[in-house]
Amino acid sequence: MQSNIMMTVITVFLFSSAAGASGDHAGGHGPAATIGQPGKLQNVTRTITIDMSDAMRYTPAELTVTQGETVRFVVRNSGKLKHEMVLGTEQELTAHYEVMKKNPEMEHADENMVTVQPGATGEIVWQFTQAGKIDFACLLPGHYEAGMKGTVRVSRHATAIEPSSAAAVLTEGVIRKIDKANNKITIKHGEIKNLEMPGMTMVFQVRDPLLLDKVVAGDKVKFRAEKSGSAFIVTDIQPE
Ligand SMILES: [Cu+2]
């Protein structure tokens, strides 16, 4: 336990120094490229099963998720060797891998990773908060170099919605209820012009669960609602 805590501290230090070394902003990614944050089980919108093999491969190795989405990775080790899946930027993973090579016995246990024994299954719950490309890799000595890596492409959430020229229209409303467990929000609203809907109280889904952290019941807001299939989805909320 204690060594785990220590490794976490060291890992955090390494990650921050890696970010510092790349802090020239030459890549245009901003000061610290963020890969997201540990997710909450109740916010999981998708489960993705990934297989790890002694061929030093992930299957699938290329994933696409939507910004804001919380993904539960079920990571299965079908090999006879220990493997792991670590999420990070390429720079973070490379820096971390160099440390792993020097300290092959090191056990690391951050929330962005899981180490899985042969025949076993592990889990990562992760929320992807920024659009862009995130890598994952097995940092056990030799594995990363052998090509044990993959990518997660995080698309902007707007792309998942049918384009609508009226989408920019904001509607006035009052928050009635917030249901974080189901990513739903109840709003008593005025006329929703872009949806040709008169004023009423409706339950909406939210595209990005983070929107639910911006408001509480009783707040007056302006919000944007869109229709996707048969679902009504709130894509933006601005407290008044
Ligand atoms: Cu491996």
Q: What is the CATH number of the domain that holds 226?
A: 2.40.50.320
Average pLDDT over residues 13-20: 41
Same domain, 59 and 80: yes
**For 22-29, which contacts have Cβ atoms below 8 Å and span 24 or more sequence positions?**
22/91, 29/132
Is the domain of 59 the same as that of 165? no
Same domain (yes/no): 122, 16: yes
pLDDT tens per residue, range 105-140: 777 788 999 999 999 999 999 999 999 999 999 999
pLDDT digits 0-9 by tens, 188-224? 999 888 888 888 888 999 988 999 998 999 999 999 9
Tally of domains in the chain: 2
Q: Which of 156, 183, 209 is the last residue of a domain?
A: 156
Q: What is the DSSP letter of 111?
A: T
Q: What is the pLDDT of residue 230?
A: 79
φ, ψ of residue 108 to 5 degrees: the values are -115, 150
Q: Measured between alpha carbons, how far is 96 from 156 in angstroms, rounded to an integer?
A: 28
> Which of 156, 179, 211 is the last residue in one of the domains?
156
Task: Give the whole-angstrom CA distance, residue 76 versus residue 182.
Answer: 28
- Cα(133) to centroid(ligand 1), Å: 21
pLDDT: which is higher, 9 or 25: 9
Residues 217-238 have pLDDT tens digits of: 999 999 999 888 778 899 999 9
- Centroid of ligand 1 to alpha carbon of 53 (angstroms): 8
* Among 142, 130, 178, residue whose Cα is nearest residue 56: 142
Q: Are residues 110 and 151 in the same domain?
A: yes
pLDDT band at 31 (very low <50, low <70, confident <90, very high): very low
Distance between Cα 56 and ligand 1 center (Å): 6
Structural domain span for residue 229: 161-239
Residues 101 and 132 in one domain: yes
The pLDDT score that the predictor gives to residue 157 is 73
